[in-house]
Structure 1
Amino acid sequence: MISIVKDLAAEALFVSSIQPSDSPTNKTVEQAVTAMILLHGSDGCAAEVATEFGDHPYCAVRRMHWVHEELTGVVAPAPVLT
């Protein structure tokens, strides 16, 4: 389940206007992800990502790599309580 959530968050952050040079906080990333999901929906975010990978593959790869680095601290599994 975490993988699905992280994939959706990655697509949403990818289509946001946030740039690596913005050095966004976790809160900013969370807000951007939420805003893009509300604006485009999950299918819309995926479609925008696909378009960018088709039109600008080298830039898209670099951006997606950055997106996954940013999400490491934001989308993480909750600790298991035993």
Structure 2
Amino acid sequence: MSNTLSLISMSTSDLAQILFSSKLQASDHPSPEQVRTAIDARLCDCDGDRSICAAFVAQEAGDHPETYAARMRWALTTVSAAYATAA
């Protein structure tokens, strides 16, 4: 299943939540292509269900509240840049 069509209808916030729940880290200094690939892979891991990814975000926020805000800011900024490049 390709998630390309479903990704088109997602907001930056939706995509950032999916990136947040992926294994990709800011310290990896990922390229825009790596970000898009990680988001697509993570969405596939969640069977295309964004609510599953959102649940992982909530769990991570509860488990590591001290790093949540910085990671989410990174995810939002990174998604914005990665999808602006793709446009």
TM over 0.5: yes
Match of 2:36 among 30, 39, 43: 30
Matched residues in 1 for 2:42 and 2:23: separation?
10
CA contact 2:12–2:80 (8 Å) conserved in 1: no
Q: Following superposition of structure 1 onto structure 2, how do residues 60-71 of structure 1 map, counting pairs within 5 Å?
A: 60-71=68-79
Distance (whole Å) between structure 2 residues aligned to residue 62 and residue 6 of structure 1: 16
Q: Name 2:5's counterpart in structure 1.
A: none
Amino acid at match of 1:21: S
Count of residues in correspondence between the two structures: 77
Equivalent positions of 1:1-82 (< 5 A) are: 4-40=10-46, 41-76=49-84
Larger radius of gyration: 1
Q: CA RMSD in A?
A: 2.1
CA shift, 1:67, in A, is 0.7
Contact kept, 8 Å, 2:60 with 2:68, in 1: the verdict is yes
Instruction: Tell me, in whole angstroms, the C-alpha distance in 1 between the residues paired with 2:11 and 2:44.
Output: 15
**Structure 2 runs not aligned, ≥5 long:** 1-7
